[in-house]
Amino acid sequence: MAWYNFSAEPGTGSNAVFAGEVTWFGPGVVFALTSVTNGDEIRLLGSAGTELTYIGNDIFQVDADDPESLQVMRATDEDVITIITCDGDFVDTGDPVFGGEYPYRLVVRAGLAETLPGAVSAGG
């Protein structure tokens, strides 16, 4: 999963945006994201061991070709994470590297519910 460094860092009061592959020659890093529902917990572990718990509160699909869909990456006045992945039925394009594409993006937005500072060491 990738964090977009043009967005806020998690826990700093705005929108931290992440993206990952739903499939990549099998289930991808965010494959389970397709089963997330509103109210589910999403936990992040920061480099200093800070554990951030977010609660899913908005899950929707956008057209991958719609430039308006980029609005989900804008800064917010609330501490949220936005996770984006591919969605819809895979379309085989014959591309020699990727094989095809997904026509939609699944967007999961979650609000910060709890921060536990330094709960776990960064190395495990």
Mean pLDDT lowest among 78-82, 85-89, 111-115, 117-121: 117-121
- 54-75, pLDDT tens digit by residue? 999 999 999 999 999 999 999 9
Model confidence at 119, pLDDT cuts 50, 70, 90, reads: low
Q: What is the pTM of this model?
A: 0.88
Question: Could you tell me the CATH number of the domain that includes residue 96?
Answer: 2.40.260.10
Q: pLDDT value at position 46?
A: 82
In a domain, 124, yes or no: no
Q: What is the mean pLDDT of the chain?
A: 91
In a domain, 15, yes or no: yes
DSSP notation for 3-51: E-TTSPPTTSSSEEEEE--SBSSSB-TTGGGGG--TT-EEEEE-TTS-E
| Closest among 4, 26, 18, 40 to 113, alpha carbons compared | 40
In a domain, 123, yes or no: no
- 81-103, pLDDT tens digit by residue? 999 999 999 999 999 888 889 99
Range of the domain at 15: 2-116
Give the number of domains in the chain: 1
In a domain, 95, yes or no: yes
In a domain, 104, yes or no: yes
Measure CA of the first residue to CA of the last residue in the chain; give whole Å.
Answer: 19
Q: Kindly tell me if the per-residue pLDDT of 29 is higher than 80.
A: yes
